[in-house]
């Protein structure tokens, strides 16, 4: 995952998944003023469609570990959740702790799918 700050104050987000294809994803991230960087609006839609309100999704940073290697990001409606890591795999103990944290915050963790090695 890599963020690139743009001149307009938004950020480009590039994510490379740890799945077998090594697929990637790109998005535009807009930090919400006054949130200290913990809340964002994110769009994966083409630039021409970003003017439409449904082209943006609210996301919140729920957790970042002390070493800034892993993070939990989710939607305020608790219908989307991402466990992000700078490494393609995660030890079982910290993985379970982060899943429990998401569960404690009301996310349906039984629906989680893990790409790559766990």
- Separation between Cα atoms, residue 36 and residue 108, nearest integer Å: 26
Three-state SS at 49: helix
Give the pLDDT of residue 4: 78
Q: Looking at beta carbons, which pairs linking 64-71 to residues 24 or more positions away fall under 8 Å? A: 65/94, 70/94, 70/98
Q: What pLDDT score was predicted for residue 118?
A: 45
Tens of pLDDT, residues 9-56: 877 777 666 665 666 777 888 888 899 889 989 888 888 898 898 999
What's the CA gap between 53 and 40, in Å, rounded?
14
Residue 17 has a pLDDT of 63
**Whole-number Å distance between alpha carbons of 61 and 40:** 8
Per-residue pLDDT at 22: 62
Percent of the chain past pLDDT 90, that is, above it, reads: 36
Q: Which CATH superfamily is domain 2-47+55-111 in?
A: Calycin beta-barrel core domain (2.40.128.20)
**Whole-prediction pTM:** 0.75
**Phi first, then psi: what are they for 109, rounded to 5°?**
-70, -15
């Amino acid at each position: 995952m890599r963020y690139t700050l743009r001149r307009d104050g938004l950020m480009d987000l590039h994510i490379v998944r740890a799945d077998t294809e090594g697929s990637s994803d790109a998005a535009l991230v807009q930090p919400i003023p006054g949130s200290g960087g913990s809340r964002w609006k994110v769009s994966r839609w083409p630039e021409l469609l970003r003017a439409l309100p449904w082209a943006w999704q609210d996301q919140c940073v729920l957790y970042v570990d002390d070493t800034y290697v892993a993070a939990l990001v989710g939607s305020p409606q608790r219908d989307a959740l991402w466990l992000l890591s700078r490494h393609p795999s995660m030890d079982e103990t910290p993985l379970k702790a982060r899943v429990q944290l998401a569960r404690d915050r009301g996310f349906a963790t039984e629906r989680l799918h893990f790409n790559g090695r766990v």
